[in-house]
Amino acid sequence: MAEIENLCLGCMSEKQGEGPCEKCGYSEDTPYLPSYLAPGTLLNDRYITGKLLSYNGEGALYIAFDKVNSTKVTIKEYMPDALCSRKKGDPTIHVESSQLPLYKTYMSEFVELNKTLMKARGMTHIQTALDIFPQNNTAYVVFEYVGGITLKEYLANCSGELTWDKVKELFPPILTTLSLVHSSGIVHRGISPTTIMVTDKEELKLVDFQISAGRTTNTEIACELYPGYSAPEQYSSNEWHGTWTDVYGISAVLYRVLTGCPPTEALARMGTDNCAEPMVINRNVPSHVSKVLMNGLKLSTANRIQTITELVIKLFEEPKFNTAEREPVRVATTPKTEAKKPVKTAESENAKAKKKKKEQQNKIMMLAGIIICLLTIIGFGIAIAIAIHANNEDPGSLVDSNYYSKPETTEEISSLPESSEESSVEETSATESSVDEIIYLCPEFTGRLFTSVQNNARYSYLKITAEYKFDDSVANGLIISQSIKKDTEVKEGTELKLIVSKGPSTVPLPSFKDKTKDEYVAMLSKLNIKYEIAEEKSADVPAGYVIKCSKDVGAKVNVEKSEVVTITVSKGSTETAAPAESTPADGTPADGTPADNTSPAETPAPEAN
């Protein structure tokens, strides 16, 4: 085992000497973000954390070393920075009391998701979850370290695209695994070339599973979406997610792999669907593959291919018209009349046999009825009374009623005539259909986050609807009550109404200090505060940043009555503005190009690999 003193915290390899690592160049004095764990932190008395690999609205991912098995691993820490914080040098996470219900709700979903992944260790084409434990007021999940490169990097090394033959070689195993993952009730929601790894053995592995709120807009934590690969329903917190959401993602990946470019982003396709078919971009893409992928990229969830299994069947099965073209002679030389003759003869003979059998059964029934009647007359010795009764009743019905009286022993049941076969079959079918009808016990949803329930495939047997109301005692997004009590028996398709909190009716106006317009608008949206935007020039505040609000910071805003707050945003100083003679009153330059009011803080971050 590598000594801790000689362990590189950048790649978890053994260093040969002092100074930067010979393999990765990491140096021990490299600065780290104070909101996350310091390199070298020991977790669960077993794992040594290294440098921060990535972070998002759900948490952080670190490279780490398992002292027990002497292996390199990765560790995911639940750390939604919108709900909690950490002081530098202190590994414990601190949560504001007002955010505690949401923090615990999301953490419960985080733990449940990764426990399910731990049970799926046999699935070789997803990143294996090895361990999960609580510490530092949060939860940690240990994953196997997946060597190799992302699919995005792999494509860059392959001239940007792959042939359909290569796709048929690479993708079937990961598609099969994804179908099994869906059977476990898990939806990934983030399938893209950056979340699929290509190992050294040239096998694909799906990584980076997240809770639903981490990949849905308008939730309480920052979402991580992948333009071109994220399904349209992920851009709204009111839309259902399901297996069809991952169908969209994997179809977009295959589109990118076969054409060299991602499909048009879902939001840009709304209204005018301007996404070109793969075969239009690359003529080598088979036409049936191109059409299947477009069906997997349908904006409407109802019209989209619903499951991975359905997608695989349509992608990899030969089109029916190909078979017809290959064997025209065999189909044409088979006369329709010849094909039907043996069927008709068999049906005719079968019908005759049944008719003959039924006639025999009727004769037996009549004979048995006569014998029973005679025995009854002799036994009672009342010939005259029986004769009168027989004249008043239909003899056939008498025979039937006596013969078909309910049997009381097994022998009597087994001796029933074959003429009762049809009625027995009907009774059996009715019994079987009632047995096959699945009964569920309604879960407890009160206190849970609505988006985690709404987007969970395991509750698809319920028809869930939501009604939103303000509640000063329940955090925004949590379920207040449900129309069906816990453990009540329900059938598939039962409607369940959930009352969901919109948060308190009045909320304090948050501070806008050092906030850009987009940042502050996002804060207000989370608090359900309605707003209007005004602009004015300012020599003190950079362009794009908020100058002031119509209400004081901390003042109560009545969101239940839709109180509107006016936000004033800086247009920049007069010194930096364009000359008056070339600038119209609306601030647009004379050449027609939009004014550049983007501040350094609004510059997009470089795209991650």
pLDDT (0 to 100) of residue 364: 57
Q: Do domains 439-501 and 506-602 have the same CATH topology?
A: yes
- In this predicted model, what pLDDT tens digit does every residue of 447-459 receive, in sequence order? 877 776 876 767 8
- In this predicted model, what pLDDT tens digit does every residue of 239-270 receive, in sequence order? 889 999 999 999 999 999 999 999 999 988 88
Q: How deeply is 519 buried, as exposed, middle or buried, from its count of CB atoms within 10 A (0-12, 13-18, 19+)?
A: middle
pLDDT (0 to 100) of residue 350: 54
With the C-alpha atoms ordered 127, 133, 134, 136, is the resulting torsion angle positive or negative? negative
Q: Can you list the positions of beta strands (E) in 377-478?
A: 439-441, 462-469
Homologous superfamily (CATH) for 151-323? Transferase(Phosphotransferase) domain 1 (1.10.510.10)
Homologous superfamily (CATH) for 4-144? Phosphorylase Kinase; domain 1 (3.30.200.20)
pLDDT (0 to 100) of residue 594: 44
**Confidence band for 175, pLDDT divided at 50, 70 and 90:** very high
- In this predicted model, what pLDDT tens digit does every residue of 45-87 receive, in sequence order? 999 999 999 999 999 999 999 999 999 999 999 999 999 999 9
Calculate what percentage of the chain has a pLDDT beyond 90. 46
Nearest one of 274, 329, 334, 332 to 299, comparing CA atoms:
274
- The residue ranges of every structural domain in the chain are 4-144, 151-323, 364-405, 439-501, 506-602
Query: Above 80 in pLDDT, residue 199?
Result: yes
Query: Hey, what are 390's tokens?
Result: 């027989």
Mean pLDDT of 174-196: 94
pLDDT higher for 63 or 401? 63
**Confidence band for 591, pLDDT divided at 50, 70 and 90:** very low
Query: Above 90 in pLDDT, residue 507?
Result: no
Looking at domain 506-602, its CATH architecture is 2-Layer Sandwich (3.30)
Residue 138 CB neighbours (<10 A) = 20
Residue 465 main-chain phi, psi, to 5 deg: -120, 160
Rounded to two decimals, the pTM is: 0.59
Nearest one of 145, 148, 137 to 107, comparing CA atoms:
137
pLDDT (0 to 100) of residue 318: 61
Mean pLDDT of 175-181: 94
**d(Cα 213, Cα 387) in Å, to the nearest integer?**
85
Query: Hey, what are 542's tokens?
Result: 């950079």
Residue 540 main-chain phi, psi, to 5 deg: -100, -25
Nearest one of 200, 294, 305 to 252, comparing CA atoms:
294
pLDDT (0 to 100) of residue 196: 97
pLDDT higher for 226 or 594? 226
- Count of alpha carbons within 13 angstroms of residue 188, beta-carbon side: 29
> Distance from first CA to last CA of the chain, Å, rounded?
31
Pairing of strands 479-482, 204-206: unpaired
pLDDT (0 to 100) of residue 70: 93
pLDDT higher for 364 or 124? 124
Which amino acid, one-letter code, is at 552?
D
Q: b/e string for 149-177 if b means 16 or more Cβ within 10 A?
A: ebbbebbeeeeebbebeebeebbeebbeb
CA distances to 24, 65, 451, 459 from 40, in Å: 17, 10, 36, 42
**Confidence band for 488, pLDDT divided at 50, 70 and 90:** very high
Q: Are 501 and 477 in contact (CB under 8 A)?
A: yes
The mean predicted confidence, pLDDT, of the chain is 78
Paired residues of 346 in beta bridges: none
pLDDT (0 to 100) of residue 258: 96
CA dihedral 212, 213, 215, 219 (to 10 degrees): 150
**d(Cα 8, Cα 176) in Å, to the nearest integer?**
37
Give the ranges where 437-477 is alpha helix by DSSP (H): 450-454
Residue with tokens 């009286």: 405
pLDDT (0 to 100) of residue 367: 53
pLDDT (0 to 100) of residue 361: 58
**Confidence band for 114, pLDDT divided at 50, 70 and 90:** very high
* Cα three-residue angle 489-113-219, rounded to 5 degrees: 90
**Confidence band for 232, pLDDT divided at 50, 70 and 90:** very high
**Confidence band for 343, pLDDT divided at 50, 70 and 90:** very low
SS3 annotation, 220-284: CCCCCCCCCCCCHHHHCCCCCCCHHHHHHHHHHHHHHHHHCCCCCCHHHHCCCCCCCCHHHHCCC
Query: Hey, what are 233's tokens?
Result: 């329903």
Query: Above 60 in pLDDT, residue 406?
Result: no
pLDDT higher for 164 or 369? 164
Contacts of 397 (CB under 8 A, 6+ apart): none
Mean pLDDT of 378-385: 45
- Domain range 439-501, CATH class: alpha beta
Choose from 5-9, 46-50, 401-405, 519-523 the range with maximum mean pLDDT: 46-50
**d(Cα 50, Cα 575) in Å, to the nearest integer?**
48
